[in-house]
Amino acid sequence: MQWLDRPLVLVGLMGVGKSTVGKRLATDLGIDFVDADEEIETAAQMTISEIFERFGEPYFRDGERRVISRLIDCVPRVIATGGGAFMNDQTRALILQGAIAIWLDADLATLVERVSRRNTRPLLKNGNPGEVLAKLAEVRNPVYAQAQIHVRSKDGPHHRTVLTILEALARWHG
């Protein structure tokens, strides 16, 4: 993908596979992969759960915005973002202007199954994950829809999703 002159930013709900798909996509394209959540944890020297507990969500969102703005620098790389990053007006504007946003989307049952594999997500610690995700989908999906590219992640192997992204990118470029 010789024409690629900026980062590809994966957005979408928790559990959709942004990190796994992002790593494979980066490998296929021969470019770097960066996980924004991991960058935030490294910068803060704390896990995301600890940041939420000690400083609250607004503090986390501010760190998230700063990390993402540092990563959007005209270098083609794949960036996986946390599910809430694109909801922040400033972060979203940065992504839409300086990168290509790819909304990875899956049905609720798939998301619920995938988030059950890891219990480190602060927003899913209180309450039923299915209900929390359904509410988040209602609020967030119209915003994720602003991404330049929309790809549905089927309940199949991630490499199939990567192929779908590559095809969508080629179409988008024209």
Closer by beta carbon to ligand S3P, 26 or else 123: 123
d(CA 114, CA 60): 23
CB of 3 to ligand S3P, least distance (A): 28
What is the phi/psi pair of residue 46, to 5°? -150, 155
CA distance 86 to 140: 9
Residue 127 C-beta: closest distance to ligand S3P, Å:
14
Choose between 18 and 24: whose C-beta lies nearer to ligand S3P.
18
Nearer to ligand S3P, 4 or 65 (CB): 65
Is the distance from CB of 77 to CB of 31 less than 8 angstroms?
Answer: yes
Q: How far is the CB of 122 from ligand S3P (least distance, A)?
A: 5
Least distance from ligand S3P to the Cβ atom of residue 52, Å = 7
Which residue number, 152 or 173, has a Cβ lying nearer to ligand S3P?
152
Binding residues for ligand S3P, rule: CB under 6 A, are: 14, 18, 37, 48, 82-84, 121-123
Interaxial angle between packed helices 108-115 and 129-144, expressed in degrees from 0 to 180 and rounded to the nearest 10: 120
Q: Which two tokens stand for residue 44?
A: 């803060």
Pair of tokens at residue 31:
């470019």
